[in-house]
Chain A
């Protein structure tokens, strides 16, 4: 119990740092200096200190949504918190549907202010979810079949015992595509854009300001960290010899998460954003890779 809580607090606290690392890495790849690694923390502090502007059109759904979104991501963090007891009692389906609950409320909130941009963002977010959900399930199911359970703890254990082989690489690529889509990064969505017509996630939360926006941003960063952790736990489970014995397994895990974040930055720099109607193809590739991995196992 205490372990889980500590893990959650650590992950929530480290999430802006991961975002900062991605931003810095991206800046370096683009030959820029970029802002400080700690910039996301300053941004959050700024959001929480600001007043907010709320449209008179909105109802309680709009006010509640950031809290629900934050709470579901918080719970998802707890579910994947490695080493925590909860991971023994929650499985990948609950994790996926928890994230779905948060998305459901944000999409509703996007329709609440009565602007066309919000609805557009909400509509695209739900569309993206339609593409991502089967791909995510397929990528995870190949691990779950080996583990013979959908429980995350069991799956992580089984992933560690797998030999490095072709199906493994295929499944890892499949999951990485899902990771990009789920964290809203290029080529699926552009987190830095401020052009209303191209935004997905940012468009959905356009009407938010102040601490509500802070909560949403924080939750999004935590969700990104959760996805990176899943990627590392299931698809990069390998240990450096001697590290675990020396009690440094945790540190090695953190290093791997940071490396995965760097990979995300690399992909973001080296590709450009796709048209939204090209995305079904990309996610279909992910589905097919997962199926191939399953067949080749």
Chain B
């Protein structure tokens, strides 16, 4: 066994999976089991392939000779292997979940979904591994198309179709920018191979143009604000195991692409590139989590939270670019390492949360958390998994989200060194404070998401009738939850992998970056160091728990009475509970200028005005980016199209006239 065989194994398994799904289209059960098992096999091969790369070093494979395009190669270097690991782990667990989840789709074009699912995984593996411009763009495009096909699986629904349409338009605009970025690079070097693109020697303005093109292009895929609009629509529309893959892995292809551009193709850039990324990143963080907090649709909430987490990843990358431009290799390695670790961590907890949301939606048939409640008693395993995911995404110790957010904090802390003036200090401090704000908002958001959904009493009959999902689904969720805990407690398990990717770009010095001492993790960057004593802190927390238990045991036997919740003397009903909208009210009010909430209250006057009045309350927030950016852009395009339409009169004579005029102009031009 070596990385090469496993790589082809993985591709083959997914091809077969798609093929079998089509072959067994008459038998939903078979299609479900075979296709998703093949996806699991393929994903595990991808994980093993990545492990072999980490163990034995990278390999280059020639895939095929393709006419004038040239030799298409795949390169499994540490960076590619890291992302293969991501696809593999999340892909395997999402496929496992799918076996249980897709029973719901029996008789609803399941075979089509299973085939596209395999193809989607396959193209993601290709995106992360091919090392040729044309092949990359082809794989990128196919990845978009297959995910689009999965997003519009329930195409009977008009909102799903609209989500798919916007997804398609936005990602294609993004792809256009990526194509342009690659073309500029490829013309400069005269080769389409990734290895050659690094030797482009572009002038500064040209390099900046390529950077901007790549940032807009990949930023669109990542869901960076302001080009995020497709994400909160497309992720909720897709089936949940697909949302998990899209949010967990697909949007990370942008992180991969930007890493290649910024570390290999463009090399050391200019500091303002990093500053631009930092600004966009922190805006994505704060706005993303604010919008998530306002959302009562559980999958939309998770989608907006992906925007926030992409912001956190981009914070690391932006800081890394600044440090590279300023010639500080160790802080740069720290910042990029933080970004990659958060990429992995977000993949783990966000796919966990999407799978959990999928379980809830499957059992209650509603996305609206205002109609849920009390599910912890009906879906205990899902609740535990979702709680772990919620705590991890809120960056609470001792889970994985905290580790990467801590590293990002440390990277931002180093910004003071990058600038001689006070600017670095202020920038670092403001970014740290805003990242802290993001963390607190995320905690509020997930207290709401978990608390309203799982705790208290059921707010509707649908929630009352819910039951636990099949063991196979809860298993995949619990494995992901376990991963959150393991990476959180032992960052030593993942950081060596990061440490394996880093030296390729910054040399062997980075080996000393992370120091694992008996009491925890130390970050050595020469000047400003950080420490995180996870084992010590866990020890203290456990000791605290033991003390608390001991204290209550020591004070004698307790008699516990059961008494209803205090609701001022009235019998408590589910409608007396605090609502999700109410929970986010203080934050909505405090951030009114950004969120621009509008409420609409209707009091029906026909009933007695003192008792039992019927109230209707609608609340919506305005997305200022839609009003200020997309609507003007949209109407501008339509106006432009209307203007151009005048050229298209439909008269043949006029068209011949155009041809004549152009010919004359061309003739005059050429004879000059």
Q: Which residues of A contact B (CB under 8 A)?
A: 8, 48-49, 51-57, 59-62, 66-68, 70-75, 78-79, 85-86, 88-91, 93-94, 96-98, 100-101, 103-104, 107-108, 110-120, 122-124, 126-127, 129-138, 141-142, 144-145, 148-151, 206-207, 210-212, 214-215, 276-277, 280, 287, 290-291, 294-295, 297
Contacts and interface: CB of A to CB of B under 8 A. Distances in A.
Contacts of B454: 59
A151 B524 CA distance: 13
B472 interface: no
A211 B558 contact: yes
A100 B443 contact: yes
Contact of B578 (A48, A116, A133, A151): A116
A211 B552 contact: yes
Given A129-B443, A287-B433, 12 more contacts: A51-B560, A52-B561, A70-B547, A71-B547, A90-B531, A107-B447, A115-B578, A133-B436, A133-B439, A136-B436, A142-B429, A295-B426
A84 to B, nearest CB: 10
Contacts of A215: 548, 551-552
A122 B396 CA distance: 17
Interface stretch (B70-78, B408-416, B601-609, B651-659): B408-416
Contacts of A67: 545, 548-549
B548 A122 contact: no
Contacts of B549: 67
Interface string B549-561: 1011001101111
Given A90-B536, A119-B578, A277-B590, A66 B377 contact: no
A72 B387 CA distance: 17
Given A51-B561, A116-B578, A134 B396 contact: no
Contacts of B532: 89-91, 93-94
Given A114-B572, A211-B552, A276 B566 contact: no
A133 B437 contact: yes
A55 B565 contact: yes
A291 B566 contact: no
B541 A74 contact: yes
A243 to B, nearest CB: 30
B558 A52 contact: yes
B426 A291 contact: yes
A294 B433 CA distance: 13
Contacts of B395: 97, 100
B408 to A, nearest CB: 10
B425 A137 contact: no
Nearest to B373: A114
A214 B586 CA distance: 29
B406 interface: yes
B434 interface: yes
B24 interface: no
20 contacts: A54-B562, A71-B547, A90-B536, A94-B406, A100-B440, A104-B391, A110-B451, A111-B578, A114-B577, A120-B578, A133-B436, A138-B432, A141-B429, A142-B429, A145-B416, A145-B425, A148-B529, A150-B531, A207-B565, A212-B552
Main secondary structure of the interface of A (DSSP, over half): helix
Contacts of A94: 397, 406, 532-533, 537
A6 to B, nearest CB: 13
Contacts of B374: 57, 114
A133 B577 contact: no
Given A54-B562, A74-B544, A89-B519, A119 B531 contact: no
A123 B545 contact: no
Contacts of A103: 443
A75 B425 CA distance: 30
B267 interface: no
Contact of A111 (B452, B540, B555): B452
Contacts, number: 290
A130 B444 contact: yes
A57 B572 contact: yes
A53 B564 CA distance: 9
B432 A137 contact: yes
B457 interface: yes
B561 A119 contact: no
Interface in B353-377: 373-374, 376-377
B429 A75 contact: no
B565 A75 contact: no
Contacts of B517: 89
Given A75-B537, A115-B576, A145-B425, A70 B548 contact: yes
B430 interface: yes
B451 A108 contact: yes
Given A48-B555, A114-B576, A101 B396 contact: yes
Contacts of B527: 148
Contact of A276 (B428, B551, B572, B586): B586
Contacts of B433: 134-135, 137-138, 141, 287
A114 B578 CA distance: 7
B492 to A, nearest CB: 15
Interface string B505-547: 0000000000001011000000111111100110011111101
Nearest to B588: A127
Given A111-B452, A133-B439, A127 B444 contact: yes
Report the 10 A-B pairs with minimum CB-CB distance, sorted nearest first.
Answer: A119-B578, A74-B544, A89-B533, A71-B544, A111-B451, A75-B540, A127-B586, A126-B444, A48-B555, A134-B433
A115 B397 contact: no
A150 B434 CA distance: 17
Contact of B545 (A8, A71, A78, A210): A71
A150 B411 CA distance: 12
B561 A57 contact: no
Contacts of B455: 59, 61-62, 108, 111-112, 114
Nearest to A126: B444
Contacts of A142: 429
B587 interface: yes
Nearest to A293: B429
Contacts of B373: 114
A150 B406 CA distance: 11
Nearest to A297: B425
A141 B432 contact: yes
B572 A127 contact: no
B583 to A, nearest CB: 4
A75 B541 contact: yes
Contacts of B456: 57, 111-114
A195 B541 CA distance: 33
A29 B556 CA distance: 39
Given A98-B397, A134-B433, A141-B433, A123 B533 contact: no
A123 B582 contact: yes
Contacts of A114: 373-374, 455-457, 565, 572, 574, 576-577
B540 A280 contact: no
A127 to B, nearest CB: 4
A62 B532 CA distance: 30
B203 interface: no
A115 B575 CA distance: 9
A270 B430 CA distance: 32
B585 interface: yes
Contact of A130 (B396, B441, B547, B582): B441
B265 interface: no
A120 B456 CA distance: 14
B420 interface: no
Contacts of A291: 426, 429-430
Contacts of B541: 71-72, 74-75, 98
B563 interface: yes
Contact of A124 (B402, B448, B537, B586): B586
B520 A89 contact: yes
Contacts of A122: 447, 451, 578, 583
A118 B536 contact: no
Contacts of B545: 67-68, 70-71
B411 to A, nearest CB: 12
Contact of B590 (A104, A127, A134, A151): A127
